[in-house]
Amino acid sequence: MDKVIASRTKGLTDVPFHYCPGCAHGIVHRLVAEVLEELEIMEKTIGVAPVGCSVFAYNYFNMDMQQAPHGRAPAVATGIKRVHPHSVVFTYQGDGDLAAIGTAEIVHAAARGENITVIFINNTTYGMTGGQSAPTTLLGQKTKTTPLGRDKEVNGYPIRVAEMLSTLEGAAYIARTAVFDPPHVNKTKKAITKAFNTQLKGLGFSMVEVLANCPTNWNMTPLDSLEWLKENMVPYYPLGEFKVSEEVDRNAS
Amino acid sequence: MPKELMDGNRAMAEAAVRAGCRYFFGYPITPQSEIPEYLSLRLPQVGGVYLQAESEVSAINMVYGAAGAGARVLTASSSPGISLMSEGISYIAAAELPCVIINVMRGGPGLGNIAPAQGDYNQAVRGIGHGDFNLIVLAPNSVQEMADYTILAFELADKYRNPVMILVDGLLGQMMEPVEFKEEPPKQFPKPWATTGAKDRPRNIINTLFIEPEELERLNLKLQEKYEQIKQEECRCENYLTEDAEIIVAAFGSCSRIAKAAVEEARELGIKAGLCRPITLWPFPEESVRKAAQKAKACLTAEMNAGQMVFDVRMALKDRIPVHHYGRMGGAVPTPGEILAQIKKIEVQING
Ligand SMILES: Cc1ncc(C[n+]2csc(CCOP(=O)(O)OP(=O)(O)O)c2C)c(N)n1
Ligand code: SF4
């Protein structure tokens, strides 16, 4: 008998991704979908797509989806979750969406301990609009709107979202991971699983920040972009778990 | 049901609960704060949720989420807060989601003041957000109507899958009057499109992005068709003493009560004046306005703004008769005497 070694997750539709070759969005989509399938919660999950390269997430995740205005996904998710408290609600957001225009929404969703899961893609740039600077752009990093490199005198300093949110009482689980090699992809999947388990157990707000590449707007090959990420992003954005509430430790690990 | 003495804001809040609304998301602002204050106690009593958002931007997006998830949901604010909601309202209209938005108007522009005004008429009927869309806009003028039209607002929202605005001002919001809540249960509408979790059905998507122009145009055309149907079926207007009227005073909301007093005083002086009170500001009841003005030689709109509804009245009457405007702004409320003086002036112009 033929043995199936790998198959496409049912958590994704058959629609081909529009993402650029080598872009992390595709990998993280797959991980989220696999986790939802493995936890057998697809039928009670409602996802919220952002405005950014991943706006079409509603076409890819094989479940009920709402598409939110730029930055407002945590508010939209709050509305859904309050109506259906026993469903699973997640947002998928980029760093312009979450850390610039939507800063208030993410901070207050976390502060309320809103029982939702946030997948946060930090690629240091605005991918969809063509590579302008983001609040996460590193000092010295060149983007379309920091052509000479980000200057702290002009643009200030990049925001470490995971660390910032982990200071909030309502945040139950906060981790930062990356997807530049298979071991880290596995770690990311584990973190996403823990985040959804946190929600399933009703323990409060959970977020996984994933360091991601944008080869297109970084003007690099996919391989070079992963090297750049490792060398430049990881030192400023350390990987790991920043908040694991005692209850998560006991119940969702 | 015995009548209760209530202010307009609380009457709308209680009516929302009776309409089956179980979710309120908002941000405090005067002169509407009685609504969230009331609901923060009342909604949990009936198994609902009151949530104070971090801003009106966030509040309207919580409404968007809850409406998409199939709930009857309410938000309330006052002028500056409504401006902040504008992007979210456009999304809600584009996604064809039902919700009710109360605007208890205050003086503007800018921070303005907290006195009653009607300066948001244009915003409500034609400028609430980007893109081609319309809200249904209801303008009650008593506490009883504020209760009745809140229930109607939820029914219209669900029936047409469209956001509905109740446009009032601080005068109505804070005025105490007897009100009676109807016993009959509100009409309910099935929501098979809602995001509730795709169990035993194909998945539902709430979305407002349509990359292909033809695809987006199909949505635009569908919306326009719906708006046309609403125009045919939902216009509401109250005409008073208009049958033989030579001068029509058109006014809405709180100002219509002042205008009514002026019209009655004019009648006592032998001036054939009548009142035309649009209740739906969108769709604008053009037919009823024309009917009210059948015998009229002139029209006067009385508004607490620089002259906003006056353009809709002119459009309805197609320049057949002169349409004047009298307005106070900045939170100043006209007296019946001021409006009567305008009626007398017009009377001299038309009858010499
Ligand atoms: C209110 C509003 N402002 C601006 C935009 C334009 N816009 C679309 S996507 C985007 C940035 C997206 O960047 P990010 O969130 O980092 O996601 P990425 O594309 O990198 O995945 C911007 C500014 C918009 N759609 N809406
Ligand atoms: S522009 Fe960047 S973030 Fe967007 S799909 Fe391409 S590589 Fe990914």
- For residue range A206-239, list pLDDT tens digits in order: 999 999 999 999 999 999 999 999 999 999 999 9
Centre a 10 Å sphere on the Cβ of residue B352 and count the other Cβ atoms it contains.
5
pLDDT exceeds 90 at position A126? yes
Helix B143-160 and helix B8-18, axial crossing angle in degrees, nearest 10: 40
Note the pLDDT of residue A1.
61
**How far is C-alpha B230 from the geometric centre of its chain's CA atoms?**
15
B275's enclosing H/E stretch is strand B273-278
| DSSP per residue, B111-148 | T--SS---TTHHHHHH-SSSSS---EEE---SHHHHHH
Rounded Cα distance between A251 and A172, Å, is 11
Residue A234: both structure tokens together: 């990881």
pLDDT exceeds 90 at position A2? no
Q: Which atom of ligand 2 is nearest to the CA of A18?
A: 5
What is the distance in angstroms between the Cα of A208 and the nearest Cα belonging to chain B? 22
pLDDT band at A100; cut points 50, 70, 90? very high
What percentage of chain B reaches a pLDDT higher than 90? Answer: 97
My answer on whether omega of the bond before B31 falls inside 30° of 0, hence cis, is yes
Note the pLDDT of residue A186.
98
Mean pLDDT of B144-167: 98
pLDDT band at A6; cut points 50, 70, 90? confident
Look at phi and psi of residue A212 and say left if phi exceeds 0, alpha if psi is from -120 to 50, else beta: beta
pLDDT exceeds 90 at position B260? yes
Distance A192 CA to ligand 1 centre (A): 24
**Sign of the torsion angle spanned by Cα atoms B264, B265, B271, B277:** negative
Rounded Cα distance between A48 and A70, Å, is 11
Note the pLDDT of residue A145.
97
pLDDT exceeds 90 at position B81? yes
pTM of the entire structure? Answer: 0.97
Residue A25: both structure tokens together: 């969005």
Mutation pick from A60, A64, A116 vs chain B, by most beta carbons of B within 10 Å, is A64
- Could you read off the pLDDT of B234-247 as tens digits, one per residue? 999 999 999 999 99
Helix B56-68 and helix A73-83, axial crossing angle in degrees, nearest 10: 50
pLDDT band at B178; cut points 50, 70, 90? very high
pLDDT band at A3; cut points 50, 70, 90? confident
Mean pLDDT of A159-179: 98
Distance A51 CA to ligand 2 centre (A): 13
Question: Could you give the ipTM of this predicted complex?
Answer: 0.97
| Domain residue ranges in chain B | 4-233, 238-351
Note the pLDDT of residue B54.
98
C-alpha dihedral (A220, A223, A226, A230), degrees to nearest 10: -110
C-alpha dihedral (B134, B28, A81, A61), degrees to nearest 10: 50
Phi and psi at B245, nearest 5°, equal: -70, 135
Rounded Cα distance between B33 and B82, Å, is 14
CATH number assigned to the domain with residue range B238-351, chosen from the 4 options 1.10.132.20, 1.10.10.10, 3.40.50.920, 3.40.50.620: 3.40.50.920
Note the pLDDT of residue A135.
98
B190's enclosing H/E stretch is none
* For ligand 1, mutation pick of A17, A129, A229 (most atoms within 8 Å of CB): A129
pLDDT band at B2; cut points 50, 70, 90? confident
Lining residues, ligand 2, CB within 6 Å: A 19-20, 23, 25, 53, 123, 127, 214-217
Q: Which atom of ligand 2 is nearest to the CA of A131?
A: 1
Mean pLDDT of B37-45: 98
Alpha carbon of B254 to those of B81, B142, B328: distances in Å?
Answer: 21, 8, 13
B187 close to B157: Cβ distance less than 8 angstroms: no
Which class is domain B4-233? alpha beta
With tokens 């000479």, the residue in question is A148
pLDDT band at B67; cut points 50, 70, 90? very high
Phi and psi at B13, nearest 5°, equal: -65, -45
pLDDT band at A5; cut points 50, 70, 90? confident
Q: Is B53 on the interface with A (CB under 8 A)?
A: yes
Lining residues, ligand 1, CB within 6 Å: A 51-54, 70, 94-97, 121, 123, 125-129, 134
